[in-house]
Structure 1
Amino acid sequence: MRFTGRSAVLAMALVVSAAWPALADKITVKDVTGRDVQVEAPVQHIILGEGRQIYFLAALEKDAPFKHVVGWRDDLPKADPESYAAYLAKYPDIAKLPTFGGMKDGTFDIEQAVALKPDVILMNIDAKTATEEGGYIEKLAKVGIPLVYVDFREKPMENTEPSMRIMGKLMGKEDVAEDFIKFRADSIKRVSDVLEKENPSRPLVFVERAGGYSDDCCMSFGNENFGKMVELAGGINMAKDIIPGTFGTVNPEQVIASNPDQIIITGGNWDGYVPGGDWVGVGYGADIKEARRKLENLTKRPAFTGVKAVKDGNVHAIWHQFYNNPYQFVAIQEIAKWLHPELFRDLDPEATFKELHARFLPLEYKPGYFVSLKDE
């Protein structure tokens, strides 16, 4: 077919438009603080206000999780060195990514951020106060850089779904975000449906946050994060009436007096922060035998003297970073198995985590995220 005159011009325009990448459109997203933020989307250049935000970005960008990242905070190598090493092995160019300090500690370099010309800066909600006090939102707005808050830590059971939807909208990956949200909801339902049907008695559970990270005891969780995960898994969070917010501390005497039925300690490899510390190094591909040894060692501290959970061997450790990413449903399944082994005999959290990796994440799954004194 031959085109002449105006028809030829129209045909050429169609060819060019088909070959030319779609231009970004300005959209409005409501972040988890309720702010309406205008962003050019799908975004092409992102600054991650925390390195561990790669946990959820990777779930949306499985084939190329760092494709749009132009800078990130420097926390991942120390907070989760095994995951960082795995990502580095697969994507060696991330070693060249510009790194930032945090807004909370005042080391975020706004001039460096502006120079990288990001379409958006993602910030965790726990940095909100420092961000506002530093006037960062206004300073960035003057150069046309929007800042969007997400949350997987302060109120993760409330904010994970909206945060994933925000990210899906920003990345042009709404379908992937909805698939992930459904997988998460279905995985939690496998626990909640059984609990609703069987209505078992609920054991009293003490969750120690980062046990062994320091000599002090005992950091824990109020009625959110791991505290809420315990409740969803069929337990009673010991600290929910002691700690008014998400994070706080209970004293050793309170643990002894409460005499919990179960103890769960969050852990990770924190050699970068506390070399040779007593922390339990669970995580990606962790040495479970060594983790179990260190877990048992933590039960000898004064706070656990004579406690029922220790006597019965119902002491467990779980990957700390479940508190800061959208994979909490795996933790809920594992906790449910610890608290109600007979009810959840057929539930396999490892299989759930493997499926998560196979469907959504770029890394091959490696076990090592859980350990228990009940393990053989």
Structure 2
Amino acid sequence: MTGPVLADPFTVTDVAGRAVSFDKPVEHVILGEGRMIYALATIETDDPFAKVVAWRNDLWKNDADAYDAYAARFPEVKDLPMLGRLTDGTLQTETLVDLKPDAVLLPIGDKQAADEVGLEDMLNAVGVKLVYIDFREHILENTEPSLHILGQMFGNVERADQVAAYWDQQMARVTDVLETAQPEEPKVFMYRAAGYSDCCGTFGSDNFGLMVKLAGGHNIGSDFLPGYTGTINPEQVIASNPDVVVATGANWGHNEGISGFVNVGPGAAAVADDSRAALAKLMQAPAFTGTTAVADNNVHAIWHQFYTSPYQFVAVQRLAKWFHPDLFADLDPDATFREFSETFLPIPYAPGYWVSLDGKD
């Protein structure tokens, strides 16, 4: 008689450079950032929540429409415990232990806070693995490794390879063309979470700042910020005189007291006129009124959550068309995202991830 087939032990090297060993694929996981579901859903497409025992509340707060879409497809989502965050003190480390997970996934940005409270030692003491992934701080260095980490942990390495290969292929549709054409780079101001926070949040040389570079633009924030995100004053925006302004937006309706943001994201095509009006109002701020971008009506908004998901290739394609419309006339980022969603994601594709003041969305 043949006994059960046992999974082979394996070791992942997380994005913090830590080697973490497992006896078998995980069965009970805590998502230290709810928006990790964007990546996990590409690996565990049949039911990305099947092995999740709790998650941070940020998907619900920062992408209400995606939360609703996942909850409609997987009703158990509504019963998952929602956790706070280490970095702001709203998550008690004992809560993680009480949920009895096999592993806790944290974004690399939480590592300092985790180290300060001794989280790794605490979890090790009860046999829980701690793994860091990253789709935000170093997108070129960490997106594909993070996908591969998820593939190993959830026992679906081949699927992770497929997602990473698609990511590479779609990025190359922009970067290969730019490498050949070497066009002049427009000056671009990325207005981070426009309307959600005060002017003028933006991005340094990574995250959306790097996406601007990969799309053939010069990211103004990279001239001033040492990290991937930060704030510059309105006078610096005026002096830089961007040729293009791109605001990031989302459905932040679950955040109390927040208004004036540009609602772009899944399903937001239905409210495109309202989103365009919100974007136009934001451009009335002194930082923007005299800029070349506003004078030329070269002002756009794009889904903020591209900045913390493995879907950055879609944003790079959309940015490239705004920066170099003639060069990328045949590129259709909406079709790209639709194809990706139908191939790798369990929820229906719902357009609305960007909007432009000129109405040519």
Q: TM-score range by the shorter chain?
A: over 0.9
Equivalent of 2:310, from 326, 329, 333? Answer: 326
Q: CA deviation at 1:252?
A: 0.4
1:211, 1:298 within 8 Å by CA — same for their partners in 2?
yes
1:24, 1:43 within 8 Å by CA — same for their partners in 2?
no
Q: Is 1:217 the equivalent of 2:199?
A: yes
Q: CA deviation at 1:100?
A: 1.3
Q: Which residue does 1:59 correspond to in 2? A: 42
Does the C-alpha gap of structure 1 residues 291 and 333 become closer, same or farther in structure 2, counting only changes over 3 Å? same
Q: Is 1:349 the equivalent of 2:326?
A: no
Q: Is 1:237 the equivalent of 2:219?
A: yes
CA distance in 2, matches of 1:266, 1:44: 35
What SS does the corresponding residue of 2:87 show, helix, strand or coil? coil
Does the C-alpha gap of structure 1 residues 276 and 145 become closer, same or farther in structure 2, counting only changes over 3 Å? closer
Matches within 5 A, 1:93-108: 93-108=76-91
Q: Is 1:246 the equivalent of 2:246?
A: no
Equivalent of 1:80, from 63, 86, 101? Answer: 63
Q: Which residue does 1:191 correspond to in 2? A: 174
Q: Deviations over 1:59-97 (max 9, x none)?
A: 001111111111111121111000000011111111111
What SS does the corresponding residue of 1:338 show, helix, strand or coil? helix
Q: Deviations over 1:187-207 (max 9, x none)?
A: 011111111121111101010
Q: Which residue does 2:246 correspond to in 1? A: 264
Residue 307 of structure 1 aligns with an amino acid whose one-letter code is T
1:262, 1:315 within 8 Å by CA — same for their partners in 2?
yes
1:39, 1:119 within 8 Å by CA — same for their partners in 2?
no
What SS does the corresponding residue of 1:239 show, helix, strand or coil? helix
Q: CA deviation at 1:113?
A: 2.2
CA distance in 2, matches of 1:31, 1:337: 34
CA distance in 2, matches of 1:363, 1:102: 27
CA distance in 2, matches of 1:128, 1:309: 38
Residue 221 of structure 2 aligns with an amino acid whose one-letter code is A
Q: Is 1:298 the equivalent of 2:282?
A: yes
Q: Which residue does 2:347 correspond to in 1? A: 363
1:39, 1:120 within 8 Å by CA — same for their partners in 2?
no
1:62, 1:362 within 8 Å by CA — same for their partners in 2?
yes
Residue 81 of structure 1 aligns with an amino acid whose one-letter code is A
What SS does the corresponding residue of 1:345 show, helix, strand or coil? coil
Q: Which residue does 1:6 correspond to in 2? A: none
Q: Tell me how many residue pairs correspond in the alignment.
A: 358
2:86, 2:110 within 8 Å by CA — same for their partners in 1?
yes
Residue 16 of structure 2 aligns with an amino acid whose one-letter code is T
CA distance in 1, matches of 2:88, 2:256: 19
Residue 311 of structure 1 aligns with an amino acid whose one-letter code is A
What SS does the corresponding residue of 1:355 show, helix, strand or coil? helix
Residue 107 of structure 1 aligns with an amino acid whose one-letter code is T
Residue 223 of structure 2 aligns with an amino acid whose one-letter code is D
2:196, 2:258 within 8 Å by CA — same for their partners in 1?
no
What SS does the corresponding residue of 1:362 show, helix, strand or coil? coil
Residue 271 of structure 1 aligns with an amino acid whose one-letter code is G
What SS does the corresponding residue of 1:201 show, helix, strand or coil? coil
Residue 251 of structure 1 aligns with an amino acid whose one-letter code is N
Larger Rg: 1
- The TM-score, its normalising length taken from structure 2, stands at 0.97
Q: CA deviation at 1:24?
A: 4.3
Residue 282 of structure 2 aligns with an amino acid whose one-letter code is L
Structure 1's unaligned 5+ residue stretches are 1-12
Q: Is 1:310 the equivalent of 2:300?
A: no
RMSD, aligned CA: 1.2
What SS does the corresponding residue of 1:244 show, helix, strand or coil? coil
Q: CA deviation at 1:375?
A: 2.1
- The TM-score, its normalising length taken from structure 1, stands at 0.93
Q: CA deviation at 1:331?
A: 0.2
Q: CA deviation at 1:257?
A: 0.6
Q: Give the 4+ runs in structure 1 shifted more than 4 A.
A: none
1:122, 1:147 within 8 Å by CA — same for their partners in 2?
yes
Q: CA deviation at 1:43?
A: 0.9
Equivalent of 1:228, from 194, 210, 213? Answer: 210
Question: Which range moved further: 224-233 or 154-163?
Answer: 154-163
Residue 301 of structure 1 aligns with an amino acid whose one-letter code is A
Q: Which residue does 1:40 correspond to in 2? A: 23
| Identity across matched positions, percent | 52
2:264, 2:353 within 8 Å by CA — same for their partners in 1?
yes
Q: CA deviation at 1:106?
A: 1.8
Q: Which residue does 1:4 correspond to in 2? A: none
2:106, 2:130 within 8 Å by CA — same for their partners in 1?
yes
CA distance in 2, matches of 1:40, 1:49: 22
What SS does the corresponding residue of 1:293 show, helix, strand or coil? helix
Residue 74 of structure 1 aligns with an amino acid whose one-letter code is N
CA distance in 1, matches of 2:127, 2:292: 57
1:40, 1:119 within 8 Å by CA — same for their partners in 2?
no
Residue 115 of structure 1 aligns with an amino acid whose one-letter code is D
Matches within 5 A, 1:63-142: 63-142=46-125
Q: CA deviation at 1:238?
A: 0.8
